[in-house]
Amino acid sequence: MRHRGVRQWELFSAWCGLALLSLVSCDSRAEAAVQPMAFSHAVHAEQDTTCVDCHIGSEEGQYATIPTLNTCLLCHEEPQGEDVNEPLVREYAERDEPIPWVQVNRVVGHVYFSHAPHVVRGELDCKVCHGEMTTIDEPVTESQIDWMTMDACMDCHTKEKVSNDCLLCHK
Ligand code: HEC
Ligand code: HEC
Ligand code: HEC
Ligand code: HEC
Ligand code: HEC
């Protein structure tokens, strides 16, 4: 009998841990990030750029990556347009400081996600998961993947006939 009580207590503690974990992650998702500069995807989509030109990891690796200053300087070494934010790019470069973008889309720590298999082998367009970015005029400040609960990941996997083995997503 005593043994069984301990087991139940362990289960209860584990459940509390998970409940707490999801509360904490909900909290951090609700906060809007403050971005360092008014960057417009819409303006840059007009410059004949593709998503992968700037998010260079999205076809090769786990992380799509947020571009570094070197990518920006391919064009902004010289002034471009009239916007007041534009000279900031060179100011960061002169100070030799990275632009401190805040990453807003993030899965919780115990989940494994990788871009390359979804984008290349799965042939999924970025907008399936991130929405239409080419019309967005302001930096992203809130998660666009809040809808990606375990059920949502699994629903698409079922539809696409991809494995839903626990260890696929929880390594
Ligand atoms: C392919 C060339 C190109 C690249 C790469 C590029 N830009 Fe631009 N950017 C432009 C051009 C051209 C304009 C001016 C557009 C206009 O005014 O019509 C511009 C405008 C801007 C502006 C002001 C307009 C706005 O609201 O976006 C900012 C800020 C800016 N760029 C930041 C960046 C940053 C930061 C990077 C790197 C992450 C970057 N750009 C990469 C070509 C580029
Ligand atoms: C199947 C859904 C899915 C697709 C398709 C997808 N993404 Fe993502 N993206 C995510 C998820 C989930 C995250 C959070 C990943 C993490 O926490 O590591 C993310 C994060 C990001 C980030 C944040 C930084 C990083 O490196 O993780 C960027 C930038 C990004 N995606 C760009 C893209 C671009 C560009 C494409 C298309 C080439 C794309 N994504 C396609 C789901 C997707
Ligand atoms: C000229 C470079 C450039 C191009 C082209 C570009 N992006 Fe971005 N992207 C950025 C920068 C800089 C940020 C960080 C600032 C922001 O959130 O807007 C960013 C942020 C993002 C994020 C949010 C990352 C996070 O914080 O989680 C996503 C998603 C994303 N881009 C997707 C796309 C998609 C999809 C395309 C193509 C339609 C695209 N980007 C084209 C430069 C670019
Ligand atoms: C819109 C559909 C879609 C969504 C949403 C989606 N996936 Fe996938 N996923 C796929 C497809 C398609 C593949 C198979 C790609 C291939 O052909 O190998 C895949 C493969 C994978 C793989 C195995 C490839 C690898 O990385 O080794 C993992 C892990 C994975 N997905 C995790 C996730 C997670 C975690 C989420 C939710 C955050 C998610 N996926 C959401 C469609 C999706
Ligand atoms: C396709 C990817 C995927 C597969 C397969 C998957 N999970 Fe998850 N799992 C997730 C994601 C994403 C989350 C985080 C959900 C969130 O933050 O809303 C999660 C969260 C969890 C959590 C934390 C509690 C919660 O609901 O947030 C547990 C426990 C869990 N998964 C167990 C499992 C078990 C057991 C299996 C096998 C039956 C499994 N997962 C298969 C993607 C997956």
More confident residue, 91 or 23: 91
Question: How far apart are alpha carbons 93 and 111 in whole angstroms?
Answer: 35
Same domain, 111 and 150: yes
The structural domain count of the chain equals: 2
CA of 162 to the centre of ligand 4 (A): 7
Supply the pLDDT for residue 162: 98
Listed as own residue / partner, the contacts of 147-153 with beta carbons closer than 8 Å and 24 or more positions apart are: 148/107
Question: How far apart are alpha carbons 167 and 144 in whole angstroms?
Answer: 25
Same domain, 44 and 98: yes
* Residue at token pair 């750029």: 49
CA of 68 to the centre of ligand 3 (A): 12
Question: How far apart are alpha carbons 82 and 39 in whole angstroms?
Answer: 13
Same domain, 124 and 145: yes
C-alpha pair distances (Å), 149 with each of 61, 94, 108, 111, 153? 22, 42, 10, 11, 6
Ligand 4 atom nearest to CA at 123: 12
More confident residue, 18 or 71: 71
Residues 122/59, Cβ–Cβ less than 8 Å: no
Same domain, 42 and 53: yes
Query: Which residue out of 80, 101, 136 has the highest number of ligand 1 atoms within 8 Å of its CB and is therefore the one to mutate?
Result: 80
Question: How far apart are alpha carbons 5 and 10 in whole angstroms?
Answer: 9
Neighbours of 8 (CB within 10 A): 10
Same domain, 57 and 100: yes
What confidence tens digit (pLDDT) does each residue in 42-82 have?
A: 999 999 999 999 999 999 999 999 999 999 999 999 999 99
Supply the pLDDT for residue 31: 75
User: Does ligand 5 lie within 6 Å of residue 108's CB atom?
Assistant: yes
Same domain, 19 and 43: no
Mean pLDDT (the chain, rounded): 87
Same domain, 9 and 38: no
Please give the model's pTM, rounded to 2 decimal places. Answer: 0.91
The boundaries of the domain holding residue 2 are 1-31
